[in-house]
Amino acid sequence: MKKFKSLVLSSGILSVLLAATPGITQSFPVSAPRIPDDRPNTTIDVSRRSGSCPDNMKLWTAFRSYEGGGEHTVIVDTSMVANGVRLTNYGAKFVEFSAPLKSEFASCVGEAISEDEPIYRFRFADRKVIFRMDLSRLRPGTITRINYQGVVSSRPAIRWAIAD
């Protein structure tokens, strides 16, 4: 009887975990996000150490909730400061893009970190800007998954899911 109770309890816990993370546990093709028609809705100020830097970086951010979690989409508007964005590095919990800065910002040395979402970070140095999204900066144990990373209309784009 003890083994049966233990089995029922274990099965119940497993089923709750699986049901609570539908976007994380199910694999399905994710299409590339599109650039919204409106202006970027998020601004991150740049902290300049030296050189000529932009005042801020602008992003389009969106969140779509579903039972048990939600999905974030972020697209960085790099068009004012850089050209030639490319995906340079990625892993299970991070994505990194790099682009050469336009001549008026080529001397910039600085960084920009989102206060609201510290997972978004920009680093300016060596005539380029590096944008990094790092989900490992979230609370330990948070269940996340990067569903899309790529360049959309010459801009970094990421779609990632989080479970409650």
Position 24 scores a pLDDT of 43
Indicate whether 108 pLDDT > 80. yes
Q: What are phi and psi of 22, to 5 degrees?
A: -65, -40
Position 37 scores a pLDDT of 85
Domain positions in the chain are: 2-163
Order the strands of the 144-152 sheet from edge to edge: 42-45, 56-66, 69-77, 155-163, 144-152
- According to DSSP H, which parts of 34-104 are helical? none
- pLDDT tens figures, 14-70: 343 344 444 444 445 568 888 888 999 999 999 999 999 999 999 999 999 988 899
Position 77 scores a pLDDT of 96
The DSSP H or E segment spanning 4 is: helix 2-20
Q: How confident is the model at residue 1 (pLDDT cuts 50, 70, 90)?
A: low
Position 29 scores a pLDDT of 56
82: which strand partners?
101
- pLDDT tens figures, 70-96: 999 999 999 999 999 999 999 999 999
Position 116 scores a pLDDT of 80
How far, in Å, CA of 128 to CA of 101, rounded? 5
Specify the pairing of strand 47-50 against strand 69-77: unpaired
Which is higher by pLDDT, 157 or 116?
157
Question: How far are the Cα atoms of 16, 66, 82, 153, 157 from residue 35, in angstroms, in the given order?
Answer: 36, 22, 17, 8, 9
Size (the chain), residues: 164
Among 50, 60, 98, 104, CA closest to 80: 104
What predicted TM-score, i.e. pTM, was given to this entire model? 0.80
129, 123 in Cβ contact below 8 A?
Answer: yes
Position 142 scores a pLDDT of 87
Amino acid letter for position 148? Y
Indicate whether 7 pLDDT > 80. no
Which is higher by pLDDT, 142 or 103?
103
Indicate whether 110 pLDDT > 80. yes
